[in-house]
């Protein structure tokens, strides 16, 4: 086989592109360094200059994957020109859409198989860790403005995140055909979370139809 003459500066990125393209269609368990070598026509030694093992490749994919995930969520939460409630609602929808569109990547990021690599590579408190930090800041913003109850923002963020993760996992794993009804399930979940979080001390600004209903006293 004739080996391709890649510049060292872009070979690593080419390996990563191939790896991400592969798991878009196949399980990460089936990804091997040989697949990268065959796809680029490069030697195994060329791969080892960038990734000493599959675990090293996975580590880079996890870090890069979380950064990509963060771009789906954080910009929406930080768009301060829009009402806080709307920003939180839309970021949750984007979370679920990312999981739907990137099932194997989502499993890689949050699954147990490579948890040891994930835990050694990043922390949930990192600013670019899947929007977690941005959600925490949004919650603290709501607390300061009197919209949300004053409580431990880290714990509240985990509770919201675990709800999103649970729904996302059910969707991508095809549990009880939940994919057909997940939008309404998400709306109900968001309503429940909001109802348990707001103070009712200030008027909520939102374009979401069901927000006003939450504030109305039950008969």
Q: What is the pLDDT of residues 12-22, one digit of tens each?
A: 999 999 999 99
User: Would you state the pLDDT for residue 86?
Assistant: 94
- Domain segments of the chain as ranges: 1-52, 58-215
Q: Nearest Cα to 25, choosing from 82, 102, 80?
A: 102
Task: Answer yes or no: CATH 1.10.357.10 is held by domain 58-215.
Answer: yes
pLDDT tens, residue by residue, 109-124: 998 889 999 888 777 6
What CATH code would you report for 1-52?
1.10.10
Name residues whose C-beta falls within 8 Å of residue 176's C-beta, 6 or more positions apart in sequence: 170
Number of H helices, E strands in the chain: 11, 0
The overall pTM is greater than 0.85 = yes
Q: What is the mean pLDDT of the chain?
A: 87
User: Would you state the pLDDT for residue 5?
Assistant: 45
């Amino acid at each position: 086989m004739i080996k391709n003459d890649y510049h060292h500066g872009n070979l690593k990125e080419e390996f990563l592109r191939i790896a991400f393209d592969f798991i878009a269609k196949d399980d990460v368990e089936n990804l091997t360094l040989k697949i990268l070598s065959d796809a680029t026509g490069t030697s195994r030694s060329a791969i080892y200059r960038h990734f000493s093992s599959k675990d090293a490749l996975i580590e880079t994919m996890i870090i890069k994957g979380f950064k990509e995930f963060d771009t789906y969520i954080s910009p929406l939460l930080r768009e301060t020109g829009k009402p806080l409630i709307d920003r939180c609602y839309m970021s949750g929808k984007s979370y679920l859409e990312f999981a739907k569109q990137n099932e194997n990547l989502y499993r890689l990021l949050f699954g147990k198989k490579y948890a040891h690599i994930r835990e050694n590579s990043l922390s949930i408190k990192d600013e670019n860790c899947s929007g977690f930090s941005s959600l925490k800041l949004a919650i603290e913003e709501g607390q300061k403005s009197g919209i949300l109850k004053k409580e431990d923002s880290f714990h509240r963020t985990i509770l919201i995140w675990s709800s999103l993760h649970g729904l996302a996992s059910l969707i991508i794993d095809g549990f009880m055909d939940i994919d057909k009804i997940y939008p309404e399930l998400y709306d109900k979940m968001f309503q429940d979370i909001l109802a348990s979080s707001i103070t009712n001390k200030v008027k909520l600004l939102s374009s979401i139809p069901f927000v006003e209903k939450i504030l109305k006293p039950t008969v």
